[in-house]
Amino acid sequence: MSESAQFTSAIDHSVPGLKKLIKNHLKFSLARDTQTASRRDWWLATSKAAQSLIIERMIATQTAHHRVNAKRVYYFSLEFLMGRLFSNSLYSAGIFADMELALQEMGLDTETLRKEEYDMALGNGGLGRLAACFLDSLATLDLPAVGYGIHYQYGLFKQEFRNGHQVELPDAWLTFGTPWEIIRPEHSTEIQIFGHVENVFDDRGNYVPRWTGAKKLLGVPYDIPIPGFGTNTVNFLRLWESRSPEEFDFEAFNRGGYGEAVREKNVSETISKVLYPNDKTESGKELRLVQQYFFVACSLRDIFRRFRKDNEAWEDFPEKVAIQLNDTHPAIAIVELMRLFHDEYAMPWDKAWGIVTKTFAYTNHTLLPEALERWSVPLFQKVLPRHLQIIFEINKRFLEVVEAKWPGDVQKKRQLSIIEEGNVQMVRMANLSVVGSFSVNGVAALHTQLLKSDLFPEFDALYPGKFNNKTNGITPRRWLLACNPRLSALITKKIGGGWERELDKLRGLEAFADDAEFQSEFMAVKHANKVDLARLIKTQLGIAVNPAALFDVQIKRLHEYKRQHLNLLHILALYRRLLQNPELDIAPRVFLFAAKAAPGYDLAKCIIKAINSVGAIINADKRINDKLKVIFLPNYRVSLAQRIVPGADLSEQISTAGKEASGTGNMKLSLNGALTIGTLDGANVEILEEVGKDNIFICGMTVEEVTALVKKGYRPHDYYMANEELRAVVDWIGSNYFTPDEPGCLRMLYDNLIHSDPFLVLADFQSYVDCQKLVDTAFKDKTRWAKMAILNTARMGKFSSDRTIAQYASEIWKLDPVKV
């Protein structure tokens, strides 16, 4: 472990000191006085006060890293789903309790102020939230790290429901600015796109390619400090904003072309405008490729600048730089680093490739072939012509390695090639990522096994030992300490502190799992959280729900493989049973959904409409005596998840076995005392191992059974015909019963289930419904349920992102901590 000088703060962060600091920021940063300040002004001033302490530690951290010339990991991700930073910043700065007191003495409170913050929604789902958790753990473990991404002006989208349909609105998170970011114009960097390649003679008389006629872009960095918990380390996330080097055409303006004068500026700024443009169109595909290249090209130049400050020999680059590719979105970085070394620094090909392949590590997040990025060769030729040449050269040399391993095996070459042949040649970014990286990891034990056996078996044979597993994790600071203060306080009262950094300490709760008094306290916390959640539902949707009911929660991205529509079929089955027998003895349930569907994903949007339409009918039906409620909270985001998770009783993790790489919602819900109903998929397998088979509800086919059924030839219509209840609820969906004003609008979902059902919803229906009966029985036994919930919380230690990052650091990056 590297050591450096002890850090001592120069800022008074006692309660009186914090009050003074807040008032100073109110006055000198915001030009407000205490009489005219709004709640938002107080939130900003308080945030800036916390940020003062954090920035002081950030400067000390960078000084310490520079002093020892530390190796750093650079985490490249197109998404960082940061959420709100207020509470976590106070916890990480070690001032939460004192800040609460300071605010109370000024007639304010932290709960009111934190609602003023808009989510930093620079991500879509699990991938972006994982990246955010990882940054938290890297700082907490004192590991030198920088995150790199894009400073999107708009997040994914703000979701509203109109007549049950998803409507996408701009997610203008930056409208009023944010106190957490620091602009770094001095580190702006210029890159180029488009143009063409010419072969020219260099000054030594050699024929070399030159990328010319390109359009220039300026990348301006914004830094978000990332404080560690219980340590002085503060790393940062650097986000690039796209601008034009020539912001204003004065000549065009003078001749009256006012629009023309700023056209170049507007076009350039489009690149960092929106997360995930709809790539159904060619222009959308082009913009997405440009976004990916823009951020990695800026980031690599930034890394070069930092490396050259303390090092001279390029051979030392992999000793000081590890770059982790978070899925294939940043994979073009492999080619860009090769181009920089070979073209701009005249490094021989083999030497450059040797450095490149010792620098990158790749995390795969999907087993779905359609989710593995592929770009057409014509698109690459237009956007990145020199990079396309380099890709073809990498591929040519790589296929020589394949030929040496499997002489004359054309099929192997076809499977492994970075270029996919067809009517239009495609560049396979996943294959490029595997070839250009020294490590490829999956994110759950089952996922990694399937990566090696199903998705990349030929690569595993060619590169034995390159594939490894790093099961995902979540940060307990956000997903227990900050989001569930009641449970956090109860845990600390019972087993003491320290669990926030060493989550395995929660095992101490096992001793109290059968203790009636502790069960009562634990479930009282859960009930209080459910009361809060019921209040939120009433406020947002005007629907009253019973906090004593079973809160059955499915919150995640809306995708067919996650099978929200399987959940819906079970709701319909229960509703139908109640209509036929109103005295049916079932525990009252509140089914709670929150999810966004990609704007171009029509079936996913149809599923949202179906859930909302069914919910509207059920919620208004007096015949079932409020035994069922269906709630779909709009605009799912981190801050909403933090309010739902503490109040959940049941966690729905019902993806088709073999389709979910890991999942992290399963971990968050279980950590907060929700029981899982799930398939043997992703990290559910490992959650089962940790909590024990008596404390989880497993249903559905296994990966092997899914594979066998698909191989045999899956016929969903056979399941439909063989099961009277299933047939009734599917037909119900297909009718216009739930959508009388929009006849036929759910037909897409009906047809999908009957005729294709690619994710085997009908095949798993009966197993799922039977398992839900076991859930009902267990929930009615309050003592049993309390014990199961306590043991779920107690046994989640493995799923801390601290454990995950420690494994990455020691087994992949070879990264040492640096104490500040």
Cβ 93 vs Cβ 20: under 8 Å: no
> Taking phi first (over 0 means left), then psi (-120 to 50 degrees means alpha), and beta for anything else, what does residue 194 get?
left
Task: Give the residue numbers marked as catalytic.
Answer: 365, 556-557, 562, 664, 668
C-alpha 786/C-alpha 607 separation (Å) is: 33
Question: In angstroms, rounded to a whole number, what is the distance separating the alpha carbons of residues 260 and 79?
Answer: 33
Distance from C-alpha of 670 to C-alpha of 688, rounded to nearest angstrom? 11
Q: How many CB atoms lie within 10 A of CB 571?
A: 22
Would you call 772 helix, strand, or coil by DSSP? helix
Q: Would you say 124 and 276 are in contact if contact means Cβ atoms under 8 Å apart? A: yes
In eight-state DSSP terms, residue 187 is: G
Instruction: Spell out the SS3 assignment of 574-588.
Output: HHHHHHHCCCCCCCC
CA separation, residue 617 to residues 28, 191, 600, 611, 738 (Å): 55, 55, 27, 10, 7
Burial of 414 (0-12, 13-18, 19+ CB in 10 A): exposed
Distance of CA 209 to the CA centre of its chain: 39
Query: Measured between alpha carbons, how far apart are the two ends of the chain, in Å?
Result: 12
> Cβ distance 494 to 508 under 8 Å?
yes
- Rounded-to-integer distance, Cα 307 and Cα 304, Å: 5
User: What DSSP element (H or E) covers 657?
Assistant: none
Q: Please choose, from the candidates 10, 18, 47, 14, the residue with its C-alpha nearest in 3D space to the C-alpha of residue 30.
A: 47
**Of 115, 100, 84, the residue nearest 178 (C-alpha):** 84
CA gap 674, 651 in Å, rounded: 6
- Residue of 703, 674, 704 whose CA lies nearest to 691: 674
Decide: helix, strand or coil at residue 626: coil
**For residue 269, what are its two tokens?**
């700024």
Cα-only R_g, the chain: 27
Find all residues with CB under 8 Å of 111, minimum gap 6, and list them.
none
CA atoms of 481 and 793, how far apart (whole Å): 13
